[in-house]
Amino acid sequence: MSPTEPATLTRVTGIDATLVRLPLVHAHFSGAAGDRQRFTRHALVRVSDELGTCGWGEVPLVDDETWRLLVDDYAPALLHHTWVRPTETAAAWAGLPWSPAVAAGLDAACWDLWSRQRGAPLSSALGGARTAFTAGATVGRQSSAEMLVLEVNRQVGSGFRRVRLEIGPGWDTGVIRTVQASFPFLVLQADAGGRYTEDPADLAALRALDDCGLVAIEEPFARGDLEAHARLQRDLRTRVALSTSVDSLETLDRAIRTEAAGALCLRPSLLGGLTPARRAHDRAADAGWEVWCGWDGESGIGRASLAALAALSGVTLPSETPGAGGRFTRDTVRPPVRAHEGIIPIPLTRPGLGHEVDTRELRRFALDSVHLSTGGPAAGTA
């Protein structure tokens, strides 16, 4: 909003929450029993103002408790809250049990609504100026180094210019060298996922990675152990990156003060929305950190808002997206948010997300739906 633009109060007068089950391209195993999952559940939210303008957001990977928090607590609180800018919406759920994913879904929907009210792309509303960004893909641990090279080749063949490799004790320097021998010009990043300790053998393995020319080594130690990350960062030329360890602006400030890292993965669903993610971007960039946008399994609606976030000037590293073959057999927006030759365009010719939500697909995969309005709730199983 420009200094000369009059402040306009926004009141969300309607919220539609739809719980959907989206089919996966590849089934995966989850839970203590290792159950084979062919679907993931997501809550897709649409907020509307009194003129009928709508904005969309997503809560990925929803369980029953998260769904109930959304429809029973957070959404009703937003209906009774007025705001001028989306940065003010978080006050609606102050005092509620904290669910950053639910807050993120509603925060993104309000940003989309606010952008559409002004006829502006979401990326511009957030302060971004890019027209496209470089995408990165993640390759998990494989059954052998040979299988790893084949999977990396599949991603490279699809145009990805940066690959993030999951590593762990016994699966680190050797396999990275093997990949580099096959793809000498590929940009590589390592995701340690908190699998290392400060045991001498683990520290030796992490120090050996310093000679591999990696963009960053992500989360080598347990989540939240900023002191251990700071000690390692002092020993390495390679940047240590934080991801799950940064779940609030306060934690980020402490990480910056202690020099616990040199790179940050922005995850709105962990931070509580686009609003704190944008603030985290600003603080990390001001500290000289590299920044990229993470991906927590969102469908097209969530990925569209992540793409808008990736337009910010401080996002200097390739941002995460589903790899070759995608994640879902069907998507929630048209056109799909997808990389072409490793590049994802940022829509600038349409307001808000810049993608049309496929409401027909939503109805097809809906498990439950709830409509809330200032006149009262109405719910129904789809």
Which residue in 271, 267, 269, 245 sits closest to 256, CA to CA? 245
Residue 5: what pLDDT?
53
**Helix ranges, the chain (H):** 64-68, 75-79, 100-117, 122-126, 145-157, 173-182, 200-208, 226-235, 249-257, 268-271, 274-286, 300-309, 359-365
The CATH class, in words, for 10-120+359-380 is alpha beta
For the chain, which residues make up each domain, given as ranges? Answer: 10-120+359-380, 125-345
Burial 288-301 (b: 16+ CB within 10 A, else e): ebbbbbbbbbbbbb
| CATH architecture of the domain with range 125-345 | Alpha-Beta Barrel (3.20)
Contact assessment for residue 176 and residue 209, using Cβ atoms and an 8 Å cutoff: yes
Q: How many CB atoms lie within 10 A of CB 207?
A: 14
* pLDDT tens per residue across all 382 residues of the chain: 444 455 788 999 999 999 999 988 776 544 444 455 788 999 999 999 999 999 999 999 999 999 999 999 999 999 989 999 999 999 999 999 999 999 999 999 999 999 999 999 999 999 999 999 999 999 999 999 999 999 999 999 999 989 999 999 999 999 999 999 999 999 999 999 999 999 999 999 999 999 999 999 999 999 999 999 999 999 999 999 999 999 999 999 999 999 999 999 999 999 999 999 999 999 999 999 999 999 898 999 999 999 999 999 999 999 998 887 677 878 889 999 989 999 999 999 999 999 999 999 899 999 999 999 987 655 554 4
How far from the centroid of its chain's Cα atoms is residue 82's Cα? Answer: 27
Residue 32: what pLDDT?
46
The sign of the dihedral angle between the CA atoms of 100, 105, 108, 109 is negative
Q: For residue 167, what is the enclosing H or E element?
A: none
Strand 162-166, strand 187-191: pairing = parallel
Residue 38: what pLDDT?
87
Strand 14-30, strand 35-48: pairing = antiparallel
Residue 330: what pLDDT?
80
Distance CA 12, CA 3 (A): 24
Residue 343: what pLDDT?
95
Distance CA 300, CA 303 (A): 5
- Euclidean distance between the first and final Cα of the chain, in Å? 39
Contact assessment for residue 371 and residue 15, using Cβ atoms and an 8 Å cutoff: yes
Residue 361: what pLDDT?
87
Residue 26: what pLDDT?
73
Distance CA 10, CA 50 (A): 9
Whole-structure pTM over 0.95, yes or no?
no
Residue 347: what pLDDT?
94
Distance CA 215, CA 338 (A): 23
Distance CA 242, CA 262 (A): 8
Residue 381: what pLDDT?
42
Paired tokens of 291:
């920044």
Residue 323: what pLDDT?
80
Contact assessment for residue 358 and residue 331, using Cβ atoms and an 8 Å cutoff: yes
